[in-house]
Amino acid sequence: MQNFIFEIPTKIVFGRGQIGRIGAEAARFGRRILLVYGRNSIKKNGVYDQVISSLQRAGLQIVEFPGVKANPVLACARKGIELAREQRVEVVLGVGGGSVIDTAKTIAAGFYAEHDIWDFFTYKKEVLRALPVLTVLTLSASASEMNQAAVMTREEGMHKFSIRSPHIRPRVSIMDPETLFSLPPVYTAYSAVDAVSHMLEAYFNNEEPESPFQDGLTESFFRVITESTEIILKEPQNYNARANMMWTTTWAFNGLIATGLGRVTLPVHMIEHSLSAIYDIAHGAGLAIVMPGWMSYTRRRNERKLAQLARNVFRINAGDEDAAIQGIVKLKNWFASIGCPTSLQEAGIPESDIDKIAVNAVVLAETWQLPDYTKEVIAEILRQCR
Amino acid sequence: MQNFIFEIPTKIVFGRGQIGRIGAEAARFGRRILLVYGRNSIKKNGVYDQVISSLQRAGLQIVEFPGVKANPVLACARKGIELAREQRVEVVLGVGGGSVIDTAKTIAAGFYAEHDIWDFFTYKKEVLRALPVLTVLTLSASASEMNQAAVMTREEGMHKFSIRSPHIRPRVSIMDPETLFSLPPVYTAYSAVDAVSHMLEAYFNNEEPESPFQDGLTESFFRVITESTEIILKEPQNYNARANMMWTTTWAFNGLIATGLGRVTLPVHMIEHSLSAIYDIAHGAGLAIVMPGWMSYTRRRNERKLAQLARNVFRINAGDEDAAIQGIVKLKNWFASIGCPTSLQEAGIPESDIDKIAVNAVVLAETWQLPDYTKEVIAEILRQCR
């Protein structure tokens, strides 16, 4: 166990009928609220009306900033910052999933920035302050509702990078599992893949020889995610399965699992970011393609941990080498069984693009200081994903 | 999953050589520090010197309040409150285990109270404000370093009761696993029993039919605790085992495991409190005596969960009834194997005292609103512990 600091002050208000509390929570931080959201889904499922009426009951002034798209882009956040400044907002409230919340966080950090906000994403500048961020979560996967990260794509060069700062960690997040009832099945599957990927990158990244606390969390959460996903795909309105999935995805990437592991890197996310940046595919779909290929590429190095995962999650009883191989197959088949693509081909990405993707990804590898991931290595991993 | 609010703002600074940060952390909350500690152990193991020199380096004024004993008593906390008021302290720093930290919390809450502080423990009064509490943890078991509870015994009537309030949750806790190196083996065992008991009372208390998130945490943490304890008893200076144990006991009772379970009651703690109040035995020893007896008494009601525990933690493969019975035996044997008493007799408590203990315990049962636990029921459970 390596030294660490753990501090997650986010207040979570979880459960049925809790969205109506957002007004009172937001009022603790300011009167003028920038309401960031996506397109139609929150209007269709009634979340928008609940939020507006709660904010109005609390006597707050609302400045709307709609239209955030999946794989959110920097140009959108820039417009949000402009609006936030013009309207002198005091609080940023994101109502949506990871894309919306990450945009809200970027606006909150950018509000005070006197430089190009992309400098936060390239780690040239540190976030020193930000407007308070609150969220109402309607798609659980990224754990952005309780973590200090935000991911954005800059269209120029198609780079999908991230910020990390305690200043952008949400102060309050409201999580009502019923908001997920109308989520299309494939997004439930993508959520599962994203959460699993967050955990496995820490699991295999382990610099420590023994990390039973962290491994146990990952293995346990992994089982909850697979079981809940299978229930949800059959019964989209199963409250308990939605609730378990929602709360588990939060803990999969809010920081707890990484405590004591030293530096945790995210090579699968790193490579995937190029796929969703260039092809605008869903992040979860991209992860389902890259994860098994990356596992195959790193199989010998991670054999012991792969075997441990295979035994403890997939109940595979075999020697290390066999268990590791079977574990990868099992995971890939599970991704396919819940409706995810598991190869570049299935996502319509031609093999001939591999070098182009690697050129894009290596820029992030350098920013994230992953020197082992050269252009050639990334291309080789992508060939395992054909 | 029932509705819940989760909010744990405590900052944890974890690892080797971190105690020297306490001065800088404390300085964020005030200049005059009440330093609460026990007797000699922190002077012997060097923790006292590290704390004092760090506080001095930060230019803080130190008011010492030593002498807190295990099973801390209200009279001691009252003296601490008097001293804190006289010296106009601004921060309460507890350096020790649960007894010291609970005393620090009681002083912090009592500082502003204009009524008898026992009223907090009988829930006649609510804690509305408290001095900021910080801790340096030297014995991990109670999770007091990250939770909102404090337990105290009032000598008059020998009642061991508790407060709960977000205001007394520590702002910062420093956890250096090396401080545990000199802990006598039996206290390591008691820590394990306390943590296991915290989790199992939630596990069996479950009002929800299915709680895979919470159950998975308990089963996983349980395995970490048993494995770490066994390593520590052989190698008291095994850093990684100490660290895993320390961090796991924190999460066993900081609030996460109870999220979504509705009302979580602690009947085993309730009955044990009478043992440690009347006989001044270690809390962990008392729990090791009461837990198996309580499990036997409630076996039929909890059979499914007992069987689940037996399968997932002790790897017992059997039908529900057999697995449940074997699980209780296995747990009791494990408590014995690590050096805990598992019967009243072993702790020198005569069977003829059972009615007296039940009379004491039922007062807490009433305060905690556990109407099923009448004097007769408690006596029957205690007879299972002979």
Flag whether residue B240 sits within 8 Å of chain A, measured between CB atoms: yes
Distance from the Cα of B80 to chain A's closest Cα (Å) equals 29
Distance from the Cα of A206 to chain B's closest Cα (Å) equals 14
- Rounded to the nearest 5°, which phi and psi values hold at B367? -60, -40
**Would the CB atoms of A16 and B3 count as touching at under 8 Å?**
yes
Distance from the Cα of B180 to chain A's closest Cα (Å) equals 15
Q: How far apart are CA B296 and CA A187, in angstroms?
A: 46
List chain A pLDDT tens, one digit each, 386 residues.
Answer: 999 999 999 999 999 999 999 999 999 999 999 999 998 899 999 999 999 999 999 999 999 999 999 999 999 999 999 999 999 999 999 999 999 999 999 999 999 999 999 999 999 999 999 999 999 999 999 999 999 999 999 999 999 999 999 999 999 999 999 999 999 999 999 999 999 999 999 999 877 778 999 999 999 999 999 999 999 999 999 999 999 999 999 999 999 999 999 999 999 999 999 999 999 999 999 999 999 999 999 999 999 999 999 999 999 999 999 999 999 999 999 999 999 999 999 999 999 999 999 999 999 999 999 999 999 999 999 999 99
In chain B, DSSP assigns E strands to 4-14, 32-37, 61-65, 91-96, 133-137, 149-154, 159-164, 172-175
Q: How far apart are CA A4 and CA A226, in angstroms?
A: 30
Q: What is the 3-state secondary structure (H, E, C) of chain A?
A: CCCEEEEEEEEEEECCCCHHHHHHHHHCCCCEEEEEECCCHHHHCCHHHHHHHHHHHCCCEEEEECCCCCCCEHHHHHHHHHHHHHCCCCEEEEEECHHHHHHHHHHHHHCCCCCCCHHHHCCCCCCCCCCCEEEEECCCCCCCCCCCEEEEEECCCCEEEEEECHHHCCCEEEECHHHHCCCCHHHHHHHHHHHHHHHHHHHHHCCCCCCHHHHHHHHHHHHHHHHHHHHHHHCCCCHHHHHHHHHHHHHHCCCCCCCCCCCCCCHHHHHHHHHHHHHCCCHHHHHHHHHHHHHHHCCCCCHHHHHHHHHHCCCCCCCHHHHHHHHHHHHHHHHHHCCCCCCCHHHCCCHHHHHHHHHHHHHHHHHCCCCCCCHHHHHHHHHCCC
For A159, counting Cβ atoms within 10 Å of its Cβ (0-12 exposed, 13-18 middle, 19+ buried), the class is buried
Flag whether residue A245 sits within 8 Å of chain B, measured between CB atoms: no
- 3-class DSSP state of B77: helix
Residue A4 belongs to a domain: no
Flag whether residue A224 sits within 8 Å of chain B, measured between CB atoms: yes
Q: Which residues of B touch A210 (CB under 8 A)?
A: 240, 244
Is-contact B127 B118, C-beta < 8 A?
A: no
Q: Are residues A195 and A280 in the same domain?
A: yes
Closest CA to B325 of B337, B346, B301, B307: B307
Picking from A179, A196, A219, the residue at the C-terminal end of a domain is A179
Picking from A131, A151, A179, the residue at the C-terminal end of a domain is A179
For residue A70, give Cα distances in angstroms to A64, A74, B176.
Answer: 18, 12, 43
Q: Are residues A211 and A135 in the same domain?
A: no
Q: Which residues of A touch B244 (CB under 8 A)?
A: 1, 210, 212-213
B residues 291..310 contacting A (CB < 8 A): none
Flag whether residue B171 sits within 8 Å of chain A, measured between CB atoms: no
**Would the CB atoms of A14 and B219 count as touching at under 8 Å?**
no
Q: How far apart are CA B34 and CA A299, in angstroms?
A: 54
If you search the block for the tokens 């085993």, which residue do you land on?
A: B268
Q: Which two tokens stand for residue A324?
A: 């590791």
What confidence tens digit (pLDDT) does each residue in B200-256 have? 999 998 777 789 999 999 999 999 999 999 999 999 999 999 999 999 999 999 999
Q: Which residues of A touch B260 (CB under 8 A)?
A: 14, 243, 247
Q: Which residues of A touch B209 (CB under 8 A)?
A: 240
Residue A3 belongs to a domain: no
If you search the block for the tokens 């709680």, which residue do you land on?
A: B211
- Beta-carbon count within 10 A of A251 CB: 23
Residue B208: the pLDDT is: 73
Flag whether residue B18 sits within 8 Å of chain A, measured between CB atoms: yes
Residue A158: the pLDDT is: 92
Q: Are residues A122 and A201 in the same domain?
A: no
Picking from A153, A179, A205, the residue at the C-terminal end of a domain is A179
ipTM for the predicted complex comes to 0.96
Q: Are residues A280 and A245 in the same domain?
A: yes
Q: Which two tokens stand for residue A172?
A: 């309050």
Flag whether residue A181 sits within 8 Å of chain B, measured between CB atoms: no
B342 pLDDT higher than 80: yes
Q: Which residues of A touch B213 (CB under 8 A)?
A: 221, 224, 244, 247-248
For residue A80, give Cα distances in angstroms to A105, A170, A286.
Answer: 11, 17, 27
Mean pLDDT across chain B: 96
Q: Which residues of A touch B224 (CB under 8 A)?
A: 212-213, 216
B270 pLDDT higher than 80: yes
Is-contact A65 A48, C-beta < 8 A?
A: no
Q: Nearest by CB to A15, which of B4, B18, B221?
A: B4
Output the pTM of the full model: 0.97
**Would the CB atoms of B1 and A210 count as touching at under 8 Å?**
no
DSSP string for B211-280: -HHHHHHHHHHHHHHHHHHHHHHH-TT-HHHHHHHHHHHHHHSSSTTTTTS-S---HHHHHHHHHHHHH-
**Would the CB atoms of B9 and A5 count as touching at under 8 Å?**
no
Q: Which residues of B touch A1 (CB under 8 A)?
A: 14-15, 177, 239-240, 243-244, 247
For residue B135, give Cα distances in angstroms to A261, B8, B25, B143.
Answer: 24, 15, 10, 11
What confidence tens digit (pLDDT) does each residue in B84-120 have? 999 999 999 999 999 999 999 999 999 999 999 999 9
DSSP code at position B156: T
- Beta-carbon count within 10 A of A207 CB: 12
Closest CA to B229 of B199, B269, B185, B194: B185
Q: Are residues B157 and B202 in the same domain?
A: no
What confidence tens digit (pLDDT) does each residue in B286-320 have? 999 999 999 999 999 999 999 999 999 999 999 99
Residue A250 belongs to a domain: yes
Q: Are residues B18 and B42 in the same domain?
A: yes
**Would the CB atoms of B243 and A1 count as touching at under 8 Å?**
yes
* β-pairing verdict for A149-154 and A159-164: antiparallel
Residue A6 belongs to a domain: no
- Rounded to the nearest 5°, which phi and psi values hold at A12? -105, 125
**Would the CB atoms of A18 and B3 count as touching at under 8 Å?**
yes
CATH number, domain of A88, equals: 3.40.50.1970
Closest CA to A302 of A202, A230, A214: A202
Question: Which chain A residue lies closest to B18 (C-alpha atoms)?
Answer: A3
Residue B52 belongs to a domain: yes
Flag whether residue A11 sits within 8 Å of chain B, measured between CB atoms: yes
Q: Are residues A207 and A293 in the same domain?
A: yes
- 3-class DSSP state of B104: helix
Is-contact B133 B105, C-beta < 8 A?
A: yes
For chain A, how long is the longest CA-to-CA vector?
Answer: 63
Flag whether residue B3 sits within 8 Å of chain A, measured between CB atoms: yes
Give Cα B51 to chain centroid, integer Å.
23
For residue B204, give Cα distances in angstroms to A258, B201, B267.
Answer: 29, 5, 11
Residue type, B35: L
Is-contact B260 B166, C-beta < 8 A?
A: no
* β-pairing verdict for B91-96 and B133-137: parallel
Q: Which residues of B touch A224 (CB under 8 A)?
A: 212-213, 216
Q: Nearest by CB to B11, which of A7, A18, A212?
A: A7
Interchain CB contacts (distance < 8 Å): A and B: 112
A residues 35..54 contacting B (CB < 8 A): none
Flag whether residue A166 sits within 8 Å of chain B, measured between CB atoms: no
Residue B1 belongs to a domain: no
What confidence tens digit (pLDDT) does each residue in B107-154 have? 999 999 999 999 999 999 999 999 999 999 999 999 999 999 999 999
Domains contained in chain B, number: 2
Angle, nearest 10°, between helix axes A98-110 and A74-86?
50
Give Cα A133 to chain centroid, integer Å.
17
**Would the CB atoms of A4 and B16 count as touching at under 8 Å?**
no
Q: Are residues B156 and B25 in the same domain?
A: yes
Flag whether residue B210 sits within 8 Å of chain A, measured between CB atoms: yes
**Would the CB atoms of A1 and B177 count as touching at under 8 Å?**
yes
Flag whether residue A3 sits within 8 Å of chain B, measured between CB atoms: yes
Q: Which two tokens stand for residue B24?
A: 């800088």
Residue A40: the pLDDT is: 85
- 3-class DSSP state of B173: strand
Closest CA to B63 of B100, B25, B90: B90
**Would the CB atoms of B5 and A16 count as touching at under 8 Å?**
no
Q: Nearest by CB to B15, which of A3, A13, A223?
A: A3
Residue A30 belongs to a domain: yes
Q: Are residues A205 and A335 in the same domain?
A: yes
Q: How far apart are CA A6 and CA B69, in angstroms?
A: 30
Closest CA to B141 of B68, B193, B184: B193
Residue B364 belongs to a domain: yes
Residue type, A97: G
* Domain range for A92: 11-179
A2, A13, A14: which to substitute to probe chain B, counting the most B Cβ within 10 Å? A14
Flag whether residue A236 sits within 8 Å of chain B, measured between CB atoms: no
DSSP code at position B181: T
Q: Are residues B135 and B226 in the same domain?
A: no
A169, A171, A215, A220: which to substitute to probe chain B, counting the most B Cβ within 10 Å? A220
Q: Nearest by CB to A210, which of B1, B17, B240?
A: B240
For A115, counting Cβ atoms within 10 Å of its Cβ (0-12 exposed, 13-18 middle, 19+ buried), the class is exposed
Closest CA to B247 of B137, B160, B114: B137
Q: Are residues B212 and B361 in the same domain?
A: yes
Q: Are residues B16 and B138 in the same domain?
A: yes
